Structure 1
Amino acid sequence: MPSVLPDGDPAPADGLLPPACADGAAGRSFSFYVHIPFCTVRCGYCDFNTYTATELGSGASQLTYAQTVSREIDFAEQVLERSGIPQRTVDTVFFGGGTPTLLPAADLVTVLQRIVQRFGLTPGAEVTTEANPDSVTRESLAELAAGGFTRVSFGMQSAVPHVLQVLERTHDPRRLPQVVSWAREAGLEVSVDLIYGTPGESLQDWRTSIEAALALEPDHISAYALIIEEGTKLAAQIRRGQVPNIDDDDHAEKYQLADELFTAGGYGWYEVSNWAREPRFACDHNLAYWKGGDWWGAGPGAHSHVGGLRWWNVKHPAAYQQRIDAEISPGAGREFPDAEAVELERTMLLTRLSSGMPLELLGGEARQNVAGLIADSLIDPKQALQGTLVLTQRGRLLADLVVRQLLGF
């Protein structure tokens, strides 16, 4: 969740949604995202809306955050009801950040239980929290599992100390097997997140990280290319020549290595940057985003989407808390994307999935561009003949280019 908020129309203080948001709502999935904005340190590459205790000062408190965000969940129930949105149980819940597990496990369970009380959970609902390996204990993971969490996503990033040092990650990579074992003992599914392309990371370093991740036998692995965001410490270091810049060819080579080793290890890709040990271990929450479901984002800077309307909360935790205390919407702005933006986003998201995008969803001009993409080995020809656009491995490397050529941008 990037820290810079988009432009848009002002969000109303009562938070009410336009009548059009109710159209077809009963047939759409509904999820909750809960943003926990606290971190022990700010990593040099991170552009997310996160804060250390020093940055926040006395403006917002970790001690009362669970109560504050729970009050937004109460507000969400009222807004959706008053806006005529049919009551739906929650299909997935995701606690992200920041480092959600900096809060006591009891606080995270408190927030989850408020969602359950106000909305209910669909049977078998996926409930995930992100966690740093150094922010959990055997006891805290057991408490999360007992409180209704089903999945933990560990921010592994790398198994190589000098790579973690560049990223300013604080955990000891040797701790991963222990925390994964604790999570398994508690009955939680396990995902690990990796980052490739860090300045100074060799191909052998990346292979070491992949092999270390596979040795953990997680249910799910995410591998993301490092993106240098303007305004971050790492961007400034690159600009000053203190660390080398990232390289697209290096990213491509590392992606290919990851895909080959994950596949050999029994993991199948289901989204460009995500692999699962079995289809049932795919991240349902992210799939809900990619397939256009509805979700309410609670917390400072969190984004929401219901019936095509998008809105986002005020960014700073202190401003967020002030609005919650005043019993008004924490929303800062909102928008209905136009038809062109909707088509672009739908195409961009669906084409990233291994299930692909039905060709019938493409306009006539876009369909005419499919043949050229097949000729360039970017789209699977057999799948296209069956009516679905599915990227080849080369197409996954050039996913943005595929979308631009499809839509003529």
Structure 2
Amino acid sequence: MPPFGPHYGFGLYVHWPYCARICPYCDFNVYAAKDRETGPLVEAILQDIQAHKARLHDHPPLTSIFLGGGTPSLLTVQDLEAIIQTATDQFGLEPNGEITLEANPNDVLRSNPGDWQKAGINRVSLGLQSLDDAALTFLGRDHDVTNALRAVEAVQAVFDNHSLDLIYARPGQAISDWQSELSQVLALGAPHLSLYELTIEERTAFGKRAARGELIPMQDDDQADLYELTQTLCEAAELPAYEVSNHARAPEYESRHNHIYWANGDWIGVGPGAHGRLTIDETRYATEAARRPTDYIAATSPTNTALPTLDAARELLAMGLRPATGLDLTRLSRLGYEQPDQSLLTDLEENGIITQAGSSIALTAQGRLLADAVAKQLAASMDL
């Protein structure tokens, strides 16, 4: 059995590329939603799901469905229901399977979360991004704090399983300001938080401003201070980190869909620009759909590329280190690679970066701060 594949989880990711407003930090495949005829794109997504069934007839029922974007909360209830029904008709869904909708606060207030639940959604990931009006303006969001809090209340009235997403380590953000803001968020009582440090990507509006010297990203040491504060406050609120950027009150609130990525399971990617990883006859394939909606509608068949063993091993190492459960290194051995040098593992353990338990290693809280660097060290020691 390969060290990747649907036995580590099998998900469906649906990318809805339209947004009411494109945020200046966003590096995803997104487009302005104004005056768009969305029916042909929804139909193409349904056909894409059906076409995947013919290739994956031996795959088990889906573990999860994740509707992301872009802004999938712009979809009508009827479209959401059609996508979910098509997926479950084709593949089935595990008992208590997770179906997540990413939502913006203003869409929550314009919609009825109860209707989302009736359509099949059982988890909502709400993109608050901040509880500071000036920060929301800086981040290009189309909601304010008042509407954010109203949206949280509306979601919590329907969905026990929900997540709040925030962005911190913004330029000039004081540690005291983040402490106050995160404390407010924790007081809302959500069972899951996704807390991301702001990343300035070259292709984004922020990236262009940074290149002109108009925006100065936060220094690494200052980001590290905020990250450590985040861990302390979340631990005290009984929302420990179960992954580098994700916190949950209990295992049942952890994102089952994201666990598929970290475990190197299989997932179908549908919608413009969506990526997937599929295992067929023990070969790992990378899939990518056409990026432009018009191109996707014209030809929904994705590009399929057999993933070289080296790339599969690198993904396995980088992703497998992210969750607190860590990575069983024998999975890399099954791809033909030697174990990392034991002296390196011992050194990392003695410096409080990892823990070891048999053939498995896991990052400590300090190690999660250095996740990418640790993965590079281990890869170098294994000639990856």
Q: Could you say whether these structures have the same fold, taking a TM-score greater than 0.5 normalized by the shorter chain as the test?
A: yes
Aligned to 2:374: 402
Mapped to 2, the partners of 1:25 and 1:209 lie a distance apart of 40
Whether the 8 Å CA contact 1:299–1:313 is kept in 2: the answer is yes
Aligned to 1:101: 73
Q: Is residue 316 of structure 1 aligned with residue 292 of structure 2? A: yes
Q: Is residue 376 of structure 1 aligned with residue 354 of structure 2? A: no
Aligned to 2:103: 131
Q: CA deviation at 1:188?
A: 4.5
Among 261, 264, 268, which residue is 1:292 paired with? 264
User: Match of 2:127, SS?
Assistant: strand
Whether the 8 Å CA contact 1:160–1:205 is kept in 2: the answer is no
Comparing 393-402 with 35-44, greater Cα deviation is found at 393-402
Aligned to 2:217: 245
Write the mapping of 1:7-406 to structure 2, written as runs, cut at 5 A: 27-53=7-33, 61-81=37-57, 86-137=58-109, 139-307=111-279, 308-324=284-300, 329=301, 331=302, 333-361=303-331, 363-380=338-355, 384-406=356-378
Segments ≥4 residues shifted beyond 4 Å = 23-26
Mapped to 1, the partners of 2:139 and 2:5 lie a distance apart of 41
**Runs of 5+ unmatched residues, structure 2:** 333-337
Whether the 8 Å CA contact 1:138–1:183 is kept in 2: the answer is no
Mapped to 2, the partners of 1:313 and 1:338 lie a distance apart of 19
Q: CA deviation at 1:25?
A: 6.0
- Tell me the TM-score normalised to structure 2 length: 0.91
CA deviations over 1:18-52 (Å, ceiling 9, x no partner): xx99x996734221000000101111111100000
Mapped to 2, the partners of 1:45 and 1:341 lie a distance apart of 28
Q: CA deviation at 1:63?
A: 3.9
Whether the 8 Å CA contact 2:14–2:274 is kept in 1: the answer is yes
User: Match of 2:264, SS?
Assistant: coil
| Cα distance change of structure 1 residues 337 and 138 upon mapping to structure 2, 3 Å threshold | same
Q: CA deviation at 1:163?
A: 1.6
Mapped to 2, the partners of 1:300 and 1:112 lie a distance apart of 18
Specify the code of the residue in structure 2 equivalent to 1:121: L
Q: CA deviation at 1:400?
A: 1.2
Whether the 8 Å CA contact 2:330–2:339 is kept in 1: the answer is no
Mapped to 1, the partners of 2:299 and 2:331 lie a distance apart of 41
Whether the 8 Å CA contact 1:141–1:186 is kept in 2: the answer is yes
CA deviations over 1:47-78 (Å, ceiling 9, x no partner): 10000035xx7xx6224432221121121223
Comparing 133-142 with 279-288, greater Cα deviation is found at 133-142
**What do you get for the CA RMSD once the two structures are aligned?**
2.2
Mapped to 2, the partners of 1:87 and 1:241 lie a distance apart of 50
**Runs of 5+ unmatched residues, structure 1:** 1-19
Specify the code of the residue in structure 1 equivalent to 2:156: R
Mapped to 2, the partners of 1:49 and 1:108 lie a distance apart of 20
Specify the code of the residue in structure 1 equivalent to 2:68: G
Aligned to 2:335: none
Mapped to 2, the partners of 1:334 and 1:201 lie a distance apart of 43
Whether the 8 Å CA contact 1:105–1:140 is kept in 2: the answer is no
Whether the 8 Å CA contact 2:6–2:265 is kept in 1: the answer is no
| Cα distance change of structure 1 residues 321 and 361 upon mapping to structure 2, 3 Å threshold | closer
Comparing 165-174 with 42-51, greater Cα deviation is found at 165-174
Mapped to 2, the partners of 1:257 and 1:40 lie a distance apart of 33
Q: CA deviation at 1:138?
A: 7.6
- Tell me the TM-score normalised to structure 1 length: 0.85
Q: CA deviation at 1:273?
A: 0.7
CA deviations over 1:258-288 (Å, ceiling 9, x no partner): 1100110011211111110111100000001
Whether the 8 Å CA contact 2:9–2:265 is kept in 1: the answer is yes
Comparing 175-184 with 308-317, greater Cα deviation is found at 175-184
